[in-house]
Every structure is written in structure tokens, then in C-alpha cells.
Amino acid sequence: GTVAEVTAALRKGDLVQVFPEGTTTCGAHPARWRPAFLQAAVDAQAPVQRFTLLFSTAAAAFVEGENLLQSLRRVLRVRGLSVTVLVDEPQRADAGRRQLALRLSPKRLVALGGR
């Protein structure tokens, strides 16, 4: 959807999930963050909360060309898979989208020494 549609959904109290890189990666080489959809949170003054999923193997990484169901089937077949979920504190969207992106960026985790 468009930023305006996401803004409207947030104003109604809906939860919205975005991948700020515009895709998913295995995490070895994260893609550049694209803060455009954070504008919806700024416009709606909706809090933003980052969730990070860490898998014990790259076999669980999303593969381009797969749909969600294909990916889930493949991941569920991985033996001994463990997943760590990191949940950050909600961030207020009271600054511009670029400032918000800086606060949410994965580089921030590195700068703070990780979790």
C-alpha cells in the first residue's frame, strides 16, 4: 500500500508490519534501510517497535522467489532450528522519518554492543 494508506491504518489503531530494507535478508549483509514507510508512523504519531529474528542457521533465511507459504514449509523442515526474538522498546515517532530510522537502524545495535 501507499504511505497514505498505512497512515490511515495506523490512525485507526491497526498494526502494520514493514521490512525497512524493502526485503528480507539472511542478515550477513543487511540491505540499506529505506525510511519512507516510517513517514506513516510520523504522520500518524504512532509508536514504532523493532523486532529482530535471529535464526540458528541460514537455512531459515527467506529466499527470493518464494512466497510466504513456501518459505514457512521449508523452515519448518529444518531440524534443530532455534529462533531468538529481540524486541526493542517502542520508539515515539515525534521526529522526522530519518531520525526515527537512525534510532531503529541495525547499526545502532552494533554501536551499543548488541543486546
CB 64 within 8 A of CB 52: no
Residue 1 is predicted with a pLDDT of 61
Residue 22 is predicted with a pLDDT of 64
DSSP for 28-45, written as a single string: SSPPPP-GGGHHHHHHHT
Please report which helix (H) or strand (E) contains residue 110, including its range.
helix 106-111
Q: Residue 88 and residue 50: Cα distance in Å, rounded?
A: 5
- In tens, the pLDDT along 50-108 reads 888 788 888 887 777 888 898 889 888 999 988 888 888 888 898 888 888 888 876 65
Q: Residue 40 and residue 11: Cα distance in Å, rounded?
A: 9
112 by Cβ neighbours in 10 Å (0-12 / 13-18 / 19+) ranks as: exposed
C-alpha cell at 13: 489503531
Q: How confident is the model at residue 109 (pLDDT cuts 50, 70, 90)?
A: low
Residue 13 is predicted with a pLDDT of 92
C-alpha cell at 110: 552494533
For residue 30, pLDDT over 80 is answered with no
Q: What is the pTM of this model?
A: 0.71
Q: How confident is the model at residue 113 (pLDDT cuts 50, 70, 90)?
A: very low
Q: How confident is the model at residue 27 (pLDDT cuts 50, 70, 90)?
A: low
